[in-house]
């Protein structure tokens, strides 16, 4: 395998014909329009990044533009219960928005260290990983692929892979709102059993 090649997650699964989901491509917030409710990352080049955040609309103070940013759990709670939450103002140049790129026929990273190196100039592109190839699932952001190839996102896995009553390999998932509500209210979420070949880690 050359340094530029990308492993095909379907190589050992020839019956899987659905295309993989689109990757996440972080885009500077200054280049994006409406930010309310968008998933964002914050940080500084050469320093590091923080994810699992949501943004509100940009605000201008003096000559600078800021983005109100809050933990995703707080965003969901505010939207669900119609309450106000504190959102620190982050300079727009330190905010990247999670946009969706173009899906390719292959996904995943090589196992060698060189193929995993990224630039620290901006947050790295996140390529989905087939659930069967992920080291673990519980609590991860996941994508369900429908039979027509459409993507269902904003889901969290609540189990690892297991055998269903019919003998299929599956994992249970829940809507992200229900995942976070489980934490703040203790209310068990509604879950759906998804076959492994239709499930990806985002």
pLDDT value, residue 113:
79
Query: In this predicted model, what pLDDT tens digit does every residue of 133-177 receive, in sequence order?
Result: 999 999 999 999 998 889 999 999 999 999 999 999 999 999 999
By CB atoms closer than 10 A (0-12, 13-18, 19+), residue 182 is middle
pLDDT value, residue 17:
60
Q: What is the pTM of this model?
A: 0.85
Spans of all domains in the chain: 24-100, 117-201
The rounded Cα 153 to chain-centroid distance in angstroms is 8
The span from the CA of 151 to the CA of 192, in Å, is 15
Q: What percentage of the chain reaches a pLDDT higher than 90?
A: 80
Q: In Å, how far are 28, 57, 147, 202 from 37, measured between CA atoms?
A: 16, 8, 28, 18
- pLDDT bin (cut points 50, 70, 90) of residue 45 is very high
The span from the CA of 104 to the CA of 106, in Å, is 5
Query: In this predicted model, what pLDDT tens digit does every residue of 65-119 receive, in sequence order?
Result: 999 999 999 999 999 999 999 999 999 999 999 999 987 654 445 557 777 889 9
């Amino acid at each position: 395998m050359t340094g530029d090649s990308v492993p095909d997650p379907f190589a050992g699964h020839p019956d899987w014909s659905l295309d993989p989901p689109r990757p996440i491509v972080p885009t500077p917030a200054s280049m994006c329009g409406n930010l309310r409710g968008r998933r964002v990352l914050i940080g500084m080049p050469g320093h590091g990044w923080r994810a699992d955040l949501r943004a509100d609309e940009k605000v201008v103070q003096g000559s600078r533009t800021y983005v109100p940013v809050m933990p995703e759990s707080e965003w969901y709670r505010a939207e669900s219960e119609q309450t106000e939450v504190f959102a620190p103002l982050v300079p727009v140049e330190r905010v990247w928005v999670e946009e969706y790129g173009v899906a390719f026929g292959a996904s995943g990273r090589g196992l060698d260290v060189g193929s995993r190196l990224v630039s620290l100039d901006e947050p790295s592109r996140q390529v989905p990983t087939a659930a069967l190839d992920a080291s673990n699932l519980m609590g991860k952001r996941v994508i369900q692929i429908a039979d027509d190839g459409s993507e269902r996102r904003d889901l969290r896995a609540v189990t690892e892979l297991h055998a269903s009553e019919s003998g299929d390999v599956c994992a249970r998932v829940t809507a992200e709102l229900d995942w976070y509500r489980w934490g703040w209210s203790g209310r068990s979420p509604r879950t759906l059993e998804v076959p492994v070949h239709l499930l990806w880690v985002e």
